[in-house]
Amino acid sequence: MKIHRLPVFLLLLLAVSAVAAIRAEDGYRLWMRYDRMTDDVQRSAYARALGHIVLATPAGTDSATIAAARDELVTGLAGLLGITPDVTTGRAPAEPCAGDDGYSIKVVSEGGRHQVIIAGNRDVGALYGSFALLRGVQTGKPVAALSETCAPRIGRRILDHWDNLNGLIERGYAGFSLWNWFDLPDYVDPRCRDYARAAASLGINGAVLTNVNADALVLTGPWLRKVAALAGAFRPYGIRVYLTARFSAPIEIGGLKTADPLDPAVAGWWKDKADEIYTIVPDFGGFLVKANSEGQPGPQDYGRNHADGANMLADAVAPHGGIVMWRAFVYDQHVPDDRIKQAWNDFKPLDGRFRPNVVIQIKNGPLDFQPREPFHPLFGSMPRTPLAAELQIAQEYLGSGIHLAFLAPMWREFLDSDTSGSGSGSSVARVVDGSVDHHSLSVIAGVANTGSDRDWCGHPLSAANWYAFGRLAWDHEISSEQIANEWVRMTFSNDPRVVAPIKAMLLASREAVVDYMTPLGLAHLMATDHHYGPGPWVDNMRADWNPVYYHRAALDGIGFDRTSTGSDAVAQYAPAVANRFGDVATCPENLLLWFHHVPWDHRMQSGRTLWDELCLHYQRGVDTVHGWQGSWAALKGLIDEERFGHVEALLARQERDARWWRDACLLYFQTFSKRPLPAGVEAPEHDLAFYEGIQLNYVPGAGGKK
C-alpha cells in the first residue's frame, strides 16, 4: 500500500483549520447559524419538502428584496440541509395574508411533488416569510408545522441607536458605532448589510441612526448623503432610516435667530429641510425628538408646549409620508414635584392636540429603564393620541455588557400590564398597537445594544435581548419561554443538554438582577453617571439624579411615599390601578417601596419583617448567579470553547458584582434599620467605607466621562 505524505505546510494548515473550526464561534452569525443539522432523519424530511420554493407577491416580479430572500434561503438551506433549493418567483393572489408586512407559508405535497409557497402582500413580506421558514427548520419544527400565516401587530418596529457622529455610543457596551461615518458615502462597510439582515430576520423595519441627544450636523447636506448610503444598504431588507432632530437646528445650522415653533420662518426652514432630506432619501421615515429634557432644547424654551413643537415638525414631513416620534421623557430639576409625575403632567393635557402623524414615545416606566418599574401612567391616559413604547435593549441599569439579564420577562410584564385595572383588554400592548383606541399609526422602539464588537452585543448572551425585542415587536403575545427556546436553539444547539440550562438561566436572570440591585420596588440605586455599580449613599448632584431621592431610607423605614399622603403619583393611574398600588395591603410586593414608605419591621406576606425580606432578596440574587456558574460549567465540551470561556469569565465577574451590590446596599441601609442581618445572609467582606470609596473611571457607555 502506497502512503501519500502531505507537505508539512499543508499539515499545519489543516491543523490550524481544525482548531479554527472548534473556535470559530465568535458570535458574529448571531441566531443565523446555518450549520448542518445532526438529525439525519429530520434533515432528510426537510430536504424532500423544501427543494422547490416559490416566492410569491402580487406583482410576481423580482426585486432587490426578493433577491435577498432568495439568497437567504439558498444559503440557509445549503448550510442546514446540504441542498441547493430551486427558488423561483410567482404571482400571489391579492391579499394572501393580513397587513402590508404579513406573509403566509404553505408546504404543499401532491403526487410525490413537494413545493413551498412563501407569499407576501409586498416583497418584504416574502422576505419575512423566508426568515420564518428558516427559523422553523433551525428550531426543529415538524415539516407540517412550517405552514403558517402571520402578520405583525405593530406597524413600525424600530431600533433606536444612541450613536454619536464621532463613533461613540451613549449607553453602548459593545464597542463603537456600526456606522462608519467618516468613510461614508464612498464606502459602506459590509457589516451594515449584515446588521440589516439580522434586523430583518426579526421583522424590524426601521432604524434611528443617531443619538436622542442630537447633533444638528447630521441634517446638513454632506451628512445626509452619508445617511443615504446607509439607507441604500438597508433598503433591500425593508428597513427605513430615521434621524433625531435637534430642536435648535434652525439656529445652529440654519442661520436663524430663533427656533420658536410658531415662528413662520422656523416652520419654513424645517419644511425646506424635510424637502431636502426626502430628495436625498426618498423613503426617509421621519424624526425622533428629545426636547426640553436633560438640557436638550425644545419648544418650552419659547413658552410653547410639546404639541406646538411636534406639530411644526409633523407638518414638515407629512407631505412625504413621514412621522414624528416625540419622546415623553421630560423632567425638570426646578419643578418641585416628584420626577416621575412630570411627563404625565406635561402630556396628559395635550391629548388630542397632536397631528395624526405624531406619536408620543414613552419609556416602559415613568422613571428611566430601571430593573423594575410600574408601567408608565401615560399608557391609558391619552386615548386620542397614538402612543409608542420605548424599551431599552442596552442594559444601562442592568449591568451593562457584563451581566446576564434577559429582558423578555421585563417587557412581557410591561406589555401585559392592564392600564384600566378592569381586565377589559386595555393592556399596554393593545394601547401601543392601536387596537384599544383605534389608531392606525403604531410604533414600538428599542434602544439598541449593538456595536462594533465582533459578537455585536458585547456579552455572548446579550444578543438574546436584540432577538427578544424583535420577536415581541412582531408579536407582543409571544411568551418569554418561546423566545428563549428559539434563541438558544438557533444560537447554540438543539441538544436538550444545552437548551435546558441556558434557557433556565435566561428566564431567571432579570429577576436575579432585580434581587441583587433593586428589590421590592427600590430604584435608581446606581452610582452617578455611569450607572454600573451601587451608590445608594450618593447625594452630591441635582436632587432627581441622587439615589437618596428615590429610596428615602431613614430610621423610620424606607421607600418613596407616592400615595395621597405623599407625592400622590398613584393618582395618575386609572382608579382601579391607583387603588391597588396605593394600598399597602394590595400593592404588589415587588413594587412596594416604589409606592410606599414602609417601616423596617413591616410584616411581609412571608411573615418576615421588611428588613429581613430585603436582605434575603439581595442574598437570593447572589445565590442565583452563583448557581449559574455551575450550570455553565456543565456545558464544557457541548458548546464551542470561545463562547464558553467568554461567558464563564463574565459570570465570575457578575457574581463578584452581585456580592458588591448586596454588601454595599445592605451595609448602607443597615445604618438606618439598626438591625442585624438575618440567618442565611452572608456577612459583607468589607466595611461600608470600603464600598463608598470605590471609584470607576471611563466606564463604557458613559460618554467618555471619567
**Residues labelled catalytic:** 294, 368, 396
Residue 539 three-state SS: coil
CA nearest neighbour of 382 among 446, 306, 316: 306
Alpha carbon distance, N-terminus to C-terminus of the chain: 70
CA nearest neighbour of 404 among 483, 509, 484: 509
Handedness of CA 362, 367, 370, 376 (dihedral sign): negative
∠ CA 387-378-408 to the nearest 5 degrees? 70
Residue 475 three-state SS: coil
List Cβ neighbours of 303 (8 Å cut-off, separation of 6 or more).
none
Helices (H), 376-420: 408-415
CA-to-CA distance for 594 and 646, rounded, in angstroms? 36
CA dist list (Å): 501 to 21, 35, 339, 497, 510: 24, 21, 41, 7, 16
CA-to-CA distance for 66 and 87, rounded, in angstroms? 10
CA-to-CA distance for 240 and 282, rounded, in angstroms? 10
Q: Are the C-beta atoms of residues 311 and 355 closer than 8 Å to each other?
A: yes
What type of residue sits at position 617? Answer: H
CA nearest neighbour of 577 among 569, 331, 689, 148: 569
CA dist list (Å): 116 to 49, 70, 82, 133, 150: 7, 13, 17, 10, 16
Q: Are the C-beta atoms of residues 490 and 139 closer than 8 Å to each other?
A: yes
Grid cell listed for 110: 401532491
CA dist list (Å): 690 to 273, 516, 615, 668, 684: 55, 19, 20, 11, 11
Handedness of CA 130, 136, 137, 139 (dihedral sign): positive
CA-to-CA distance for 408 and 468, rounded, in angstroms? 6
Q: Are the C-beta atoms of residues 211 and 170 closer than 8 Å to each other?
A: yes
Residues in a beta bridge with 38: none
194 dihedral zone (left: phi>0; alpha: psi -120 to 50; beta): alpha
